[in-house]
Structure 1
């Protein structure tokens, strides 16, 4: 009888040992592969972002992102939006602007050239951006001290590589034309859009600049039909020579398909 009791006791202890091992292994498995609680298992809602153009909200993963802005379609990215900004341009806001006169919309595009330092194209427009934002360091180049204090801007800049930047909404006035007259109309800033091409008047513009310029003009014409076009030298002949003799007006007219009547100064080099 005593032998049987010892046998049962041994079997019971063995059973407890086996059970303990299973609990240890189970605990290890839970530690290595913890089950998420209900909050973790719940699928978090995806962030929604508004289209910069039409303000429709959509999941961020479905939006087209550009410079921390979002668009619902490629078309909206490439259009002039209702606030007067091109989505695919790099926006670099300039303080050198003000509102247009009441009931005035732009009907003229003025083409300029600019390079900072003069005839230097190695910085991809960085100093031009600083100049239009009143951040130009006068110690960075001797010429910069000469233009210190000037308050200038343009709606758009096209760099030598064809990159498009925008500084002022087309709904507002940029300070690009100065004292000027277009077909007997004074103060061209009131009714014009200024486009600066990175250039110096002594060398040809790049093909990429014409490509971007053509694309920009077509976008602008959607919102502002029947735009007319002139160079800065056309509206301020006593002061300015830009865009200069190397700007190819014939090429510009051909690529944009602008009607000759909207080029009142013709397509000759000047």
Structure 2
């Protein structure tokens, strides 16, 4: 289903694989919206709950799915990414688990994309990772562990939730600066202010949804901080 909402990529080919949920009542409404000129929205692929895949934009072209955002200090996520929309009502219309048939097809689709483009595991991302203050998708129910088991993305076993030490909105000082530094090192857009501001809270929420979904509260507790440490330690050395 070709979408008119596309243009040429700027710069090199994609280095990000970006996953969304549709956040609409059903898949057919989402598909229609993604092909309407008035929407100014598109993606490369849509995966229905029964596993059916629809392509809207060739991977070589720039689909309009990411909006304003940043990753590792670079913007224009649309030019940098292949975008997959996953049919799910989202938090607004009745967020629910992703069916097995859908997840199996997402895995196959992602493996194909990764075979065609030089996308690092750490750059297989949620929409919320690149736009923490605006987006929640694909959310805390998305099975990143199943993708990782198939060789897709970057993941570690989350540190168990325990202890009472934490950083939260309004806190200030060196520990907050250190947490902001960790977020920036991984790729999140956070200004190092040494103050736990709203931007830091949103980035913490996004991180938890992707990497520590057991509790998504925007609080940098021991588990959240330790999980991010593990992720950074698991990255391959810089050449």
TM-score band, normalised by shorter chain: 0.5 to 0.7
TM-score (norm 2): 0.61
Report deviation, 1:257. Answer: 4.6
Aligned to 1:106: 14
Residue 232 (structure 1) aligns with: 127
Partner of 1:191: 80
Which of structures 1 and 2 has the bigger CA Rg? Answer: 1
Q: What is the Cα deviation at residue 169 of structure 1?
A: 0.6
Once the two structures are superposed, the pairs formed by residues 57-76 of structure 1 within 5 Å of their partners are none
- Give the SS at the match of 1:186: coil
| CA distance 1:259–1:230, change in 2 (3 Å) | closer
Query: 1:232 & 1:226 partners in 2: Cα distance?
Result: 16
Q: Is contact 2:21-2:137 (8 Å) kept?
A: yes
In the alignment, is the contact (CA less than 8 A) between 2:2 and 2:56 conserved in 1?
yes
Aligned residue pair count: 158
> How far 1:218 sits from its partner (Å)?
1.2
Q: Which runs of 5+ in 1 are unaligned?
A: 1-91, 136-148
Match of 2:67 in 1: 178
TM-score w.r.t. the length of structure 1 is: 0.54
Q: Matched residues in 2 for 1:225 and 1:181: separation?
A: 19
Aligned to 1:131: 33
User: Which structure features the higher share of strand residues?
Assistant: 1
RMSD: 2.1
SS at match of 1:256: coil
Provide Cα deviations, 1:105-161, integer angstroms capped at 9, x if missing partner: 001011100143x3xx4xxx22222111117xxxxxxxxxxxxx4310011100000
State the distance in 2 between where 1:200 and 1:130 align: 15
Match of 1:267 among 211, 217, 221: 211
The whole-number CA distance in structure 2 between the counterparts of 1:239 and 1:115 is: 13
